[in-house]
Amino acid sequence: MTTATKGRPQGATIWLTGLPSSGKTTVARALAGRLRTEGHRVEVLDGDEIRRFLSAGLGFSREDRHTNVQRIGLVAEILARNGIFAVVPVIAPYADSREAVRKRHATSDTPYLEVHVATPVEVCSERDVKGLYARQAAGQLKGLTGVDDPYEPPVDPDLFLETQHQTPQESAGSVHAVLAGKGLL
């Protein structure tokens, strides 16, 4: 385990952003498993779980989505600052919200890695893990990110993943390699 300057294990936030059904959570779980096997402390801050508990009551307006991302960012930064790898698979559709999270990490000198899970919407729609695309197509859902609500892809992510061309383990390995390359493992 890499040790931080204060004698604590080094933590980091690994933020996986992308469309619904892009593979964020699958990659996050594969990465978390690998990191745990190596002896690292890891927490996966799943967007659906956060919505149910930490952000219960928030809707899907731009303001509510921003608030949700900031809450997740705060929890991730606290965990990472205290030697835990916070793996965060969330849509986080707006660039300014993600940038605010990045700045929060920079202010506390906490490592932050942004991964764009850049699976095309057509592939996400075929996967349709939660049935969102089918509900949107049937007129039962409005505001689906990447379809009838915006998704602002990262301009300069630390890593760009095309999960339609890799297994989840290969994608997790790519993230792991970037963490190692940055001296965080």
pLDDT over 60 (residue 36): yes
Give the pLDDT mean for 106-117: 97
> 12: which strand partners?
85
Determine contact, residues 119/22, Cβ cutoff 8 Å.
yes
pTM: 0.92
Average pLDDT, the chain: 93
* Residue % of the chain over a pLDDT of 70: 96
Give the pLDDT mean for 33-47: 96
How many angstroms separate the CA atoms of 181 and 90, rounded?
24
Phi then psi for residue 161, to 5 deg, are -110, 135
Determine contact, residues 175/26, Cβ cutoff 8 Å.
no
Q: How confident is the model at residue 6 (pLDDT cuts 50, 70, 90)?
A: low
pLDDT at 1: 39
